[in-house]
């Protein structure tokens, strides 16, 4: 069987790649398991230089890797370059902080030496999406590896070249063979991988429905999971906010990565008294976006990753219009080859409309007008999702209070929600559970062990 790689911007076939059969999977898992056991025996200080070598390998091939990302999933090349650079930063961060994060935690006790230690658990299966084909993988890989674990990657089927290139980066960096292993397999193979005794845990980023299936399979096997799932992030703009600054960031928050991000702002919840001003500034910023060839320097909106995704987004936009939403800009697929869609802003959206109820995974924004701060928080929380939220206000004391009322894994005040190696990242409700990044992300896949030592006896 073969796995195809297509360029969504041109509808052309880039290549065909053989799917790993049962024999190849068994061989690769065996090598990965043996490599991880040897890696786990190293002191953390011996692992740290390897992380720096991964960062260096990413930067050496940054242009080549960024081009591959753009060709396989359609985002502007400038954004692909930034993605590779962020991966390098992530590995540098864990090289700098890994020893501190993994240090024994001494617990005061008069009768004993009591401490908490962090041990590796083994191989972590990473089931990853296509929208950030390098970052999603590498943000999980750095803490997994510095902790003494290994990683087995099952990547999205539409980015096989990125999946293979990731494995090559670790080879180029000199890490032990198989410590990071890519398996080119179909989704139907995931259950068997989860059940394999050599897999200790699972990290998954993707849709909520698939997350439920992964969680059920991993739960049945009694294996730890971290799930980063869908989102319909609110972008709340209160009457005392800097409207122009909020609108400028709103353009980036919604339309970066062609709107294909779980943490993209999707519901723009604006107090009625300033809603017209915000909408006008938001539209003005969106009109400056350039839809086109993602390889050209001036392009800011590339192709969506697949034609089917564009069809699904357009259906959501049309449904919202039929329900009463007003189109301020866009609202149509771009004619011609590729899966391009116009940057779209819908106004006068209500919480019951499709654009507010469902996750819109593409360049379409929904403005919801509210009468008060309390209504803004209520509308923001009226969602099955709880990944990120952005809150705009000039009153920082009030912002601290309101941020505690917002049901989300992260609240960014007067800024755009983004993942950062230094900060824990993850969601609540149907956006998943567990955390990536920061020291909490590292500890997710460690055996947190209590060691109690009493007085020496003769």
Domains of the chain: 2-229+431-453 (3.40.605.10), 233-413 (3.40.309.10)
CA distances to 121, 125, 168, 173, 398 from 46, in Å: 18, 24, 21, 14, 47
The pLDDT value recorded for residue 167 is: 98
| Spacing of C-alpha 281 from chain mean position | 28
Identified catalytic residue from 228, 342, 436, 444 = 228
CA dist 310 and 153 (Å) reads 27
pLDDT in tens, 340-369: 999 999 999 999 999 999 999 999 999 999
Q: CA quadruple 210, 216, 221, 227: dihedral positive or negative?
A: positive
pLDDT band at 456 (very low <50, low <70, confident <90, very high): confident
pLDDT of the residue at 117 = 98
99 and 88 in contact (C-beta within 8 Å)? no
pLDDT in tens, 328-337: 999 999 999 9
Stated as kind and residue range, the H or E segment containing 401 is helix 396-405
DSSP state letter for 291: B
Separation between Cα atoms, residue 6 and residue 3, nearest integer Å: 10
How much of the chain is helix, strand and coil, in % rounded to 5? 45, 25, 35
Report yes or no: 417 and 253 within 8 Å, Cβ to Cβ: yes
Residue among 422, 419, 347, 345 nearest 388 (CA): 419
Query: Taking the mean position of all CA atoms in its chain, how far away is CA 410?
Result: 13
Helices (H), 173-242: 190-195, 208-220
Q: What angle do CA 275, 277, 280 make, to 5 degrees?
A: 105
The mean pLDDT value for 9-13 works out to 96
For residue 220, name the pLDDT band (cuts at 50, 70, 90).
Answer: very high
Q: Is 228 a catalytic residue?
A: yes
What is the pLDDT confidence band of residue 31, given thresholds at 50, 70 and 90? very high
* Whole-number Cα distances in Å, 413 to 204, 261, 393, 400, 417: 28, 19, 8, 8, 9
Residues 6+ apart with CB under 8 A from 41: none
Neighbours of 117 (CB within 10 A): 14
Catalytic residue among 162, 262, 342, 358: 262
Indicate if 87 belongs to the active site: no
Looking at residue 1, what is its pLDDT? 84
Q: Work out the mean pLDDT of the chain and round it to a whole number.
A: 97
pLDDT band at 141 (very low <50, low <70, confident <90, very high): very high
In angstroms, the CA 350 to CA 344 distance is: 17
Distinct helix (H) and strand (E) counts, the chain: 15, 20
pLDDT in tens, 285-339: 999 999 999 999 999 999 999 999 999 999 999 999 999 999 999 999 999 999 9
The mean per-residue pLDDT over the stretch 155-162 comes to 98
Which burial class, exposed, middle or buried, applies to 22 when counting CB atoms under 10 A from its CB (0-12, 13-18, 19+)? exposed
Residue 60, CA distances (Å) to 84, 222, 282, 397 in order: 10, 40, 38, 45
Return the pLDDT at 457.
Answer: 77
Q: Which of 272, 264, 279 is nearest to 390 (CA)?
A: 264
The answer on pLDDT for 458 being more than 80 is no
Burial 418-441 (b: 16+ CB within 10 A, else e): bbebeebbbbebbbbbbbbbbbbb
**What pLDDT shows up at residue 108?**
87
């Amino acid at each position: 069987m073969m796995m195809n790689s297509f360029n969504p911007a041109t509808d052309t076939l880039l290549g065909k790649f053989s799917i790993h059969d049962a024999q190849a999977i068994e061989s690769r898992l065996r090598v990965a398991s043996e490599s991880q056991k040897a890696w786990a025996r190293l002191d953390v200080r011996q692992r740290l230089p390897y992380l720096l070598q991964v960062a260096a390998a990413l930067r050496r091939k940054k242009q080549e890797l960024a081009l591959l990302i753009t060709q396989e999933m359609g985002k502007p090349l400038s954004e692909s370059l930034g993605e590779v650079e962020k991966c390098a930063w992530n590995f540098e961060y864990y090289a700098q902080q890994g020893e501190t994060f993994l240090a024994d935690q001494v617990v005061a006790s008069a009768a004993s030496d009591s401490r908490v230690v962090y041990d590796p658990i083994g191989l972590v299966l990473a089931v990853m999406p296509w929208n950030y084909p390098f970052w999603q993988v590498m943000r999980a890989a750095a803490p997994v590896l510095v902790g003494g674990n290994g990683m087995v990657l099952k990547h999205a089927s539409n980015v096989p070249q990125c999946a293979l290139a990731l494995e090559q980066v670790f080879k180029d960096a000199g890490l032990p063979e198989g410590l990071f292993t890519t398996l080119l397999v179909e989704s139907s193979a995931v259950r068997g991988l989860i059940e394999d005794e050599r897999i200790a845990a699972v990290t998954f980023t993707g849709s909520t429905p698939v997350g439920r299936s992964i969680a059920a399979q991993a739960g049945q096997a009694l294996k730890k999971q971290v799930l980063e799932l869908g989102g319909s992030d609110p972008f709340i703009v209160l009457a005392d906010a800097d409207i122009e600054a909020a609108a400028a960031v709103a353009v980036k928050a919604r339309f970066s990565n062609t709107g294909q991000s779980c943490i993209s702002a999707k519901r723009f919840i604006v107090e009625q008294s300033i809603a017209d001003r915000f909408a006008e500034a938001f539209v003005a910023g969106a009109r400056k976006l350039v839809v086109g060839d993602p390889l050209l320097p001036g392009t800011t909106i590339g192709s969506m990753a697949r034609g089917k995704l564009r069809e699904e987004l357009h259906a959501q936009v049309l449904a919202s219009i039929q329900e009463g939403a007003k189109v301020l800009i866009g609202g149509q697929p771009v004619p011609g080859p590729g899966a391009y869609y116009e940057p779209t802003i819908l106004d006068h959206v209500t919480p019951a409309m499709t654009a507010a109820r469902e996750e819109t995974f593409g360049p379409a924004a929904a403005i919801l007008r509210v009468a008060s701060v309390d209504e803004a928080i209520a509308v923001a929380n009226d969602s099955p999702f709880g990944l990120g939220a952005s809150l705009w206000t000039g009153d920082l004391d009030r912002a601290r209070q309101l941020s505690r009322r917002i049901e989300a894994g992260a609240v960014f005040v007067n800024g755009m929600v983004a993942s950062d190696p230094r900060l824990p990242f993850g969601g609540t409700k149907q956006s998943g559970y567990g955390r990536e990044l920061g020291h909490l992300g590292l500890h997710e896949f460690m055996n947190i062990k209590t060691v109690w030592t009493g007085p020496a006896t003769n």
